[in-house]
A = this chain, B = another copy of it.
Amino acid sequence: MANQVMEQLETPALILDEARMDRNIARMRSQVQRLGVVFRPHVKTNKCIDVARRLMETPQGPITVSTLREAEYFAAHGVTDILYAVCIAPNKMDHVMALQDQGVRLSLILDSMETARLLADRARATQRQFDLLIEIDSDGHRSGVKPDAPELIEIGRFLQDAGLPVKGVLTHAGSSYDAFTVDAIRAMAEQERAAVVHAAERLRAAGIACPVVSVGSTPTALFAEHLDGVTEVRAGVFVFFDLVMAGLNVCQTDDIAVSVLATVIGHQREKGWTILDAGWMAMSRDRGTAKQPVDQGYGLVCDLDGQPLDDLILVGANQEHGIMAHRSGKVDGALHLPVGTQVRILPNHACSTAAQYGHYSVLGKDHEITAVWQRFSGW
């Protein structure tokens, strides 16, 4: 595939703009260095060793994963320090132990006494140790123990008594995706930091060691003013960014490093529609900008140089058909792109769009495809 140009690709195809990606990584690296914490990148967005190698502080990690399949894949590529950042389920313990047997230092998280008891039973039955972090709920958006909850100390003490020392506490301020100004994101970053540091201090005050204090989301990581008391930061989507992040002013549209290359296959001119060969299978069903001030439909349409094209968006999507139209709905004077014209569509959500593909076509200068990087899916 090397030395191909983008125009020769069969569509739809997932394009990764290498220069934009490298710029995004440099921005996060500089911020993490300023904050003075360990960077544990989340690889759920990229699921690709070629991308992860540019993110990691060492070839062995650390990294954050969202599935044990990710842990398995990155372990096969030499990564040994892996945090699985979803509360563990009993049916995954055989998989966890197989990874431990391969030499992976896999950290698990939990947020309940129920899970603490299951893990203690499993540790006793198998004569194993598990590295455990307690998830803290810093914003009410999903999982975690409230930082002030009595259960936090109960879990910590139970684990310690069971011979499973608490490695730390972790939180994810998912609500930062609803913070539409830089000030709101900064406030959310401080809320995230303060909640998890408070939880760590409560554990320590109760005589429970808590060396790791982990926070992270792309918006809060990029806009945190300080992370006093925090030891590590996690973030994933920043590597590619997307329209949701641009809608939060966390990035600009010309920072978005992934796009879907698509081709015009027809028109319904009386409606101002152009039909593309990229539907929801190519874009994903993610409509993350629907709740933002600017709704980008199923994606923002750009020319082959990655510049937005006459305010065209995908207003609808079937499985393999995308309906492109002017954002305003105007029909007269809509840009006519002949059948065969290629466009690039910026996605609402990089994680979900990239997940629809088995590889990235890596874009260099002058529309050249310089590499093909494989990615994987599944659990």
Contacts and interface: CB of A to CB of B under 8 A. Distances in A.
Contact of A142 (B68, B318, B352): B318
A33 interface: no
B377 A115 contact: no
Given A66-B319, A142-B323, A11 B277 contact: no
Nearest to A275: B143
B352 A378 contact: no
Contact of A284 (B86, B94, B285, B338): B285
A366 interface: no
A114 to B, nearest CB: 4
A340 B118 contact: yes
A114 B338 CA distance: 8
Contact of A320 (B86, B284, B352, B357): B86
Contacts of A340: 89-91, 114, 118
A277 B86 contact: yes
This protein's copies in its complex: 2
B263 A89 contact: yes
Contacts of A88: 265
Contacts of A191: none
A218 B297 CA distance: 26
A246 interface: no
Interface residues of A, number: 62
A321 interface: yes
Interface in A99-127: 110-112, 114-115, 118
Given A285-B287, A320-B67, A12 B379 contact: yes
Say what secondary structure dominates the interface of chain A.
loop
A177 B270 CA distance: 23
A306 interface: no
Nearest to A342: B91
Nearest to A264: B89
A268 B142 CA distance: 8
Contacts of A8: 91
B320 A66 contact: yes
A280 interface: yes
A267 B11 contact: no
10 cross-chain pairs, A with B, having the tightest CB-CB distances, nearest first: A285-B285, A114-B339, A89-B263, A87-B265, A90-B340, A285-B286, A66-B320, A87-B266, A86-B320, A358-B378
Given A90-B340, A111-B266, 16 more contacts: A10-B94, A66-B320, A67-B320, A86-B265, A89-B265, A90-B263, A110-B266, A112-B267, A115-B266, A118-B339, A142-B321, A280-B286, A285-B352, A319-B351, A319-B352, A355-B356
24 contacts: A8-B91, A11-B91, A12-B379, A86-B265, A86-B277, A86-B320, A86-B321, A90-B339, A90-B340, A91-B342, A110-B266, A112-B266, A112-B267, A114-B338, A142-B275, A142-B321, A142-B323, A143-B265, A143-B266, A280-B286, A280-B352, A281-B352, A285-B286, A377-B377
